Chains A and B, each alone.
Chain A
Amino acid sequence: MKGLVLVLLLLAGPWGPLGAEPYLQAKGGYVFSFPKDHQPHRGYKTEWWYYTGHLSGPEVRYGFQFTIFKIERENGTAFLFHCALTEPQGFRFDEKLQREFPGLAGERDGGIWVEDNGLKIEGNRHRLVSHCQGANLELELSHARAPVVHGEEGLSPKGENPTNTTHYYSVVDLSGTAVLESIGQRRELKAQVWMDHEFGSNFLEPNQKGWDWITLNLDSGDQMMLFRIRQEPGPDFYWGTYIPKTGPTRTYRRFTLVPQGSWESRKSGVLYPAGFVVQAPEGTLALTPWLKDQELRTPLAGMIYFEGAVEVQGQWQGAAVKGLGYLEMTGYAGPIQARF
């Protein structure tokens, strides 16, 4: 879901028109098989690998985003790379857009690359290389828990229209080491990472203006993926997956996201919520961004959105909890469809 914003812009953007296409559709009954399903799925219009996480070292912490999108159209395939780094001293981000072509972007040696940014998944090991506005980040990660498949029969709905769906799974317990080179300094850090991999061909309806998407890692060991799609007219569409520390995961819809205050970007003039409160029968969680300004302005994608590390605090299942999370807010720079 997280990459939806970028997918949308590319749907009608430079790489092709919306509409009649002979693309594969995300349909029920899809059975995921790993590690095969970590690799690109040809025939779907859009696919993304979305890593967000937290890096920590002695007296320092960072948040990062690493995303590769694959966009297939009639006249070829393009790859888009977005990255962001939340540092104590500020926020930096970058983007790269290249056609699938040797040396520019595409699959190589079992990995997926956009220029010199790439990811490679072998078994339960994930290797990421990112060059983000002068910050070079390399991550060596592995996971113990099996990938979490969202929804039923491998389908994640994006609204009430049953055809607007994707195949969507997450690896929620990636951990390992990170080497960050920035401003002439090299740091070795610990990494806790969430990975989303999603592919499909149909997403939003015209009345869907944007969404707020959240991943949460609570101290208790419970994890959540929650989003709301803001619809005008019509009530917002809420959907998520609850991943308890132990036990089976379940589709989770009994929650609301309540915006808290507002923050206006000086660079874009866009007004965002300054945070959210998750309200659910299990309790209340307040999400506060590490930095107010974690806004990406990406001209190649033609989008302005917020993607940032958040702290979580509140009461959950009768106990005080803390945690870390990632928050994406889109559509605040204007209705997405209207932009194209």
Chain B
Amino acid sequence: MFEKISQFLVPIAGRLNNNRYLQVLRDAFMLAFPLTIFGSIFVVLTNLPFLNKIMNASMLTSFQSHFGIASTATMGIMSVFVVFGIGYYLSKSYQVEAVFGGAIALVSFLLLTPFIIQPETGDAITGVIPVDRLGAKGMFLGMITAFLSGEIYRRIVQKNLTIKMPAGVPPAVAKSFAALIPAFITLTVFLLINVMVTLFFKTNMHDVIYHAIQAPLVGLGSGIIPTLIAVFFIQILWFFGLHGQIIINSVMDPIWNTLQVENLSAYTAGKEIPHIISKPFMEIYTVGMGGTGMTLAIVFTILIFMKSRQMKQVSKLGLAPGIFNVNEPIIFGLPIVMNPIIIVPWVLAPMVVTLVTYLAMSAGLVPPPTGVTVPWTVPLFINGIMATNSIMGGVMQLINLLIVFVIWFPFLKAMDKLNLAKEKEQAVQETAAQQNDNSIKM
């Protein structure tokens, strides 16, 4: 039966993974990744809990405001990188001049952005770009605009509506002329959209998309039920040996990343963190505990309590990578894949852990992740503390490991018994074979 389901799942997984738009989206977020790490490190550094003991208040404020630009210039305007990235990678996937695709996407996005700030009291300030529109708030408009402008741009290029330069003109010059007509048409489309929306509807595309698409979708994604469903599917895909995150995250990442940036903006502004579920929540409390399925708990359980030689061998092999949240040895070696004994704890434990963590955070026992990006290879406990800026974030992970241990123990014990019986049988067969050998020789 498992084989049949697997045959059904593999092509679906392939199609999702190879989907052009999802692939482009994944690459675009990867472009923002090193930048967000840079910003995150300085958020962590400027918010170390003991700083107020070694600096006086004014020094601390000055320190935080000077280094705070590191996160404002990266995660604070994350939509900029995502928009450029989508334009770039989408054009690249169609084999048209990619860097122009990126630049055109960025300008299209800016064309829809109001260059005005309306304070709650007083006159509007013109000639400025509100930072939050380039950050979390503009994320969905940015993604939609980038995909649309990329599609328009490449269609015009592929229709050959370009100015051709005679041979002998330097290639860089020729290329910029070639991009001229496609850029002009694409940008005009977005300029006209903006004129219509602002003139006739007295609003702007940012607010339209934010209220019509982003807020409902992100609100949905921040709920615990959709999150548990996502965890369920990730575990099921891995059970069939498929990389669950690559497939599920490509759909969920826009939402989870937006939630993350919203959290970080609130955190750096000294406000309460608005969301519990976000990208770091998913990374730190599902993957960041020894890999998908929190297998580090399983490795320890086997090493301490189990007797089967095969299981011990896999666990020894899986220990070092597991500390850095790589767990393919356990998934394929134990194995977890297509192992009917294990499907129940494999799916159940991460869902219980996600729920317990969520409840602990909504009860205020553990602070939610602040929105800083912690690389997923940072070991457990350390990554929990870094992500939440609280020792409780690490303690929560240890409690979670205990939960995983309790859920898994009876199943591992049953598996151990089966393996021991099998190993004993093999040993008997081997000695019997040896004796046979000896008797032949005699």
Q: Is B one of A's binding partners?
A: no
- Using a CB–CB distance below 8 Å, which chain B residues touch chain A? none
Interface residues of A (CB under 8 A from B): none
